[in-house]
Amino acid sequence: MSKKAGVPFKGTKEQEKQLLEVIAELRDTPGCLMPIMQRAQDIYGYLPYEVQKIISDELRIPAEKVYGVATFYAQFNLNPKGTYKVSVCLGTACYVKGSGPVFEEIQKILGIGDGECTPDGKFSLDTCRCVGACGLAPVMLVNDDVYGRITVDQVKGILEKYN
């Protein structure tokens, strides 16, 4: 398992205590690994090696199994996200209405690609598959704020709001 991720792990004792409580609560439920990992990601914001190790030790399952699940699902992040999580819907309805050029424009402005984070930790960029707001296509999100019917020209103004 690679530990090369550039950001040092900054988990606190308090977070670890919360995680151990979650594990104690769920460990006897059948198929508990994913729910535990989802809650762990809520606590830490992402799932670095150190957190996966705690889960594997506590549940007495191989670390590779935890890593396997973490890398299988798009929802689990092995690297931290930015303060502002920007995502662009590349679902079919948004795509045919031009979300592709919008995504390119954001990459150009932020200088980062899909799944990356700006060096100052402010913005991270992801693509997503359909948030279900197809009536507003094309759609982009900044954290929980939804921007619908966006055009390439509007992107700069939207991102500036978070600067």
Partner 1 sequence: MKTLEELKTVRESMLDRIETRTHFAEHKGGDGKYRYHVLVCAGTGCTSSDSGKIIANLEEELKKNGLDNEVAVVKTGCHGLCAMGPIMVVYPDGVFYSQVKPEDVHEVVEEHIKGGKPVDRLIYRETDNGVTKTYRESDFYTKQHRIALRNCGVINPEDINEYIGTGGYQALGKVLTEMTPDEVIQLMIDSGLRGRGGAGFPTGLKWKFASGNRGNVQKYVCCNADEGDPGAFMDRSVLEGDPHVVLEAMSIAGYAIGATQGYIYVRAEYPIAVERLKIAIAQAREAGMLGKNVFGTDFCFDIDLRLGAGAFVCGEETALMTSIEGNRGEPRPRPPFPAVKGLFGKPTILNNVETWANIPQIILNGPQWFASMGTEKSKGTKVFALGGKINNTGLVEIPMGTTLRTVVEDIGGGVPNGKKFKAAQTGGPSGGCIPAEHFDVPIDYDNLIAIGSMMGSGGLIVMDEDNCMVDIAKFFLQFTVDESCGKCTPCRVGTKRMLEILDKITEGKGEMSDLDELESLAYYIKENALCGLGQTAPNPVLSTLRYFRHEYEAHIKEKRCPAGVCKALLNFEIDPTKCKGCTLCARNCPVNAITGTLKEPHVIDTAKCIKCGTCMDNCKFGAISKK
Token duo for residue 35: 């729910």
Looking at the Cβ atoms of 24 and 146, the one nearer to partner 1 is: 146
For residue 126, what are the β-bridge partners? Answer: 87
Interacting positions 111-130 with partner 1 (CB under 8 A): 128-130
Query: ω into residue 119 within 30 of 0, thus cis?
Result: no
Out of 5, 27, 62, 75, the only residue in the binding site for partner 1 (CB under 8 A) is 75
Binding of partner 1 by 142 (CB under 8 A): no
User: Cα separation of 161 and 154, whole Å?
Assistant: 11
Select from 1-9, 12-20, 35-43, 117-125 the region that touches partner 1 (CB under 8 A). Answer: 35-43
User: Cα separation of 144 and 131, whole Å?
Assistant: 11
Looking at the Cβ atoms of 6 and 113, the one nearer to partner 1 is: 113
CA 17 distance to own-chain centroid: 23
Contacts with partner 1 by CB under 8 A: the residue count is 36
User: Cα separation of 71 and 30, whole Å?
Assistant: 21
Which residues of the chain form contacts with partner 1 (CB under 8 A)?
30-35, 37-38, 65, 68-69, 72-76, 90-93, 95-97, 128-137, 139, 146, 148
